[in-house]
Amino acid sequence: MLSPTTANDSNKSLEAKALFANLWWRNTSALDHCSWPEITCNEEGSVVKIDAKCKNFCNGDQCVQNWLDFSSFQNIKELSFDDCKIRGIIPEQIGLLSNLTHLSLSRNFLSGKLPVSFTNLTYLAALDLSSNYFTGILPSQIQSLMNLAYLDLSQNGFIGAIPTSFGSLVNLAVLDLSTNQLNSSIPEELSNLKKLEILDLRENNLDGPIPAPFGYLNKLKVLTLGKNHINGSIPLDLQNLKKLEQLDLSRNDLMGAIPRDLGKMSSLFYLDFSSNKLLGNVYLIPNPCYLKHVDLSKNLMTGNIPNGFSRCFLLEYLDLSSNNLVEKKVDFFNSPGLMFVNLTQNHLTRIVPEDHSRRKKHVLFMIIFLPILGLCFFVLGVVCYRRYKATTKKSQHDIKRHGDVGVILNYDGRLAYEDFIKATEDFDLKYCIGTGGYGSVYEAKMPCGKKFALKKLHRFEAKELAVDKSFRNEVQVLTNLKHKNIVKLYGFCFHNKCNFLVYEYMENGSLFCALRDVGAVKLDWINRVKILKEVAHALAYMHHDCNPPIIHRDISSNNILLNSEMEAFIADFGAARLLDPDSSNQTVITGTLGYIAPELAYTMAMNEKCDVYSFGVLALETIGGKHPGQLLSLLHRFSIHGKSLANILDSRLTYPSDELIETDLLRVYNVALACILADPKSRPTMRNVSQELSR
């Protein structure tokens, strides 16, 4: 009879033999397989985990030839062969791995059905078979895996109904069946999954109503049912989901009104009800409100735009377009991070930001005196306009003496204040192409065909000293910057009637909006890498070629603009600062939430490494298709399987087949990780980043 030591040595020898037999091409000088970075062994030297990083673990298309001899790995608990180009079916022999707790075979070319022996994997807690070519109905073997906490079968070709037996997997915390061809209705039995935190059923052919008992999944944080054929009304019981953070019911056939009591979901930060047939007033504004993303576009909603959005101080994205909303005084500008607002295709004429500090307490006073005040302002406006006409003919000294300064720079032609007023019909809403924290952007097309972008201060903020200083700072900085990837300032107008800047027009808008396009068709992998290179070159110029150096302080996807050729330009220099190397550069915190360097939370010292951090966030957002705040939480879900480039990349685009493009994307990813290091001193300079991305 063998002693335990002898048995362990024998088992270790079998494991080594199995690995070397199938992976004989591995380029390593280490004969001890336990020293390989992809292999984890226990204290006895037996393999307990294989995390095959197939970029290094395989040779070309050769990976795990004929699979491993699973009978040799009696103690293995975690097995990951993600993105390894494995083809064919999963062998029945996998059922021999009776101690397996984690199995990940995502992003391969697997097909067929799951082996019957899967029922032997009773300890399995995590199963990821996403992004393969499995077809047919969902495998019945899964219902016997009672310890499953994580199940991802997304991006396959499964058809038929979601088995009601899935409701017996009571330990599930994550269930992802998205991007398949599942049909029929959603089974109510899924409401038995009381530990469920993430339920993703988007992009299928599901119909029928949303089961009302879903309102009792009190641990649910993410509910994604978008792009199906779900009908009926939104269940009132969803109000019970106190921990829900993300709710996506978009692109379905939902009808009726949004239940007012859904506003009780106070943890909600992402909401998308777009492209349905919802009626009634706009409700669902939690109190307190932590909403960051709200999309109610393409519905049949009526009534006023509610002022309740002014309570949402974290709001970044608001789309209420293509409804039947009517005009009301609203205040969208309480949120310092607001990057996108779309109110088009409603029954609005002009959105007037409400100035709470000027509310009148007496209605009678307003009724009597407002018409008189209006007449006074009209007369004053006529006087000011005539004065402007006269002062434009005087010397620059005389112009400054009257407080009206206007100039057109770097443009071959004569343009005047009146030309822009006429081109925008006195800044009519229909010419507005974007709204930011302290100004709106208008498209101005001149008779000669030349287009400009006008950034105009909101009237009530033009009187704010800090805002006016930021506006003038943008002119000061941009007039001294000469780089092909920094937006060109053609001119400016500081006038007592209105203040605006004249920019080069960018046909493709901001990178923020381009990344949120449904198919992201324009932004293929080549364009995304090119955009990041151009931004890096411009920042390197600002940090290292300007004297004194200039830090932008607000690098975000909303401040990267794209022209007709998808070339990138850094814009919005209102927060930019000339860097004095002899000072401590103490400053107030500026920038966009989610892009601000973490050290600014405990120190006010601003330097160029803050821009480097913001660029790292921008790079992850660009290749991932969304802000890394959500991407990082997604990575956390995959952390039990290890991370790879495919976990990071935007799933709307196919994984790059060209090795050069894949190498470029991997380089971007590695650079981004270096840029977002917590210690500023450990981050690279933008010159280093620019050089690395240009390799």
Separation between Cα atoms, residue 351 and residue 340, nearest integer Å: 15
242 is in an annotated binding site: no
Residue 515, CA distances (Å) to 108, 295, 337, 630 in order:
26, 15, 18, 14
Q: Produce one character per residue of 184-216: b if its CB has 16 or more CB atoms within 10 Å, e if not.
A: eebbebbbbbeebbbbbbbbbebbeebbeebbe
Write the single-letter amino acid at 262.
Answer: L
Beta-bridged to residue 455, according to DSSP, are 441, 501
Instruction: Give the E-state strand segments of 300-402 in sequence order.
Output: 302-304, 317-319, 324-326, 340-342
On whether the CB atoms of residues 326 and 350 are closer than 8 A, the answer is: no
CA 187 to chain centre: 31
On whether the CB atoms of residues 272 and 226 are closer than 8 A, the answer is: yes
Among 554, 572, 611, 664, the one annotated catalytic = 554
Q: How many helices (H) and strands (E) does the chain have?
A: 14, 35
CA 358 to chain centre: 37
Instruction: Give the E-state strand segments of 403-505 in sequence order.
Output: 405-408, 432-435, 439-445, 451-457, 489-494, 499-504
Helix (H, G, I), strand (E, B) or coil at 272: strand
Helix (H) or strand (E) holding 465: helix 465-478
Helix (H, G, I), strand (E, B) or coil at 455: strand
Separation between Cα atoms, residue 602 and residue 175, nearest integer Å: 39
On whether the CB atoms of residues 288 and 311 are closer than 8 A, the answer is: yes
On whether the CB atoms of residues 101 and 125 are closer than 8 A, the answer is: yes
Residue 636, CA distances (Å) to 154, 417, 589, 641, 672 in order:
17, 53, 29, 10, 17
Active site residue 253: no
DSSP letters spanning 497-559: S-EEEEEE--TT-BHHHHHTSSS--S--HHHHHHHHHHHHHHHHHHHHTSSS-EE-S---GGG
Positions marked active-site? 554
Q: Which residues are annotated as a binding site for ATP?
A: 455
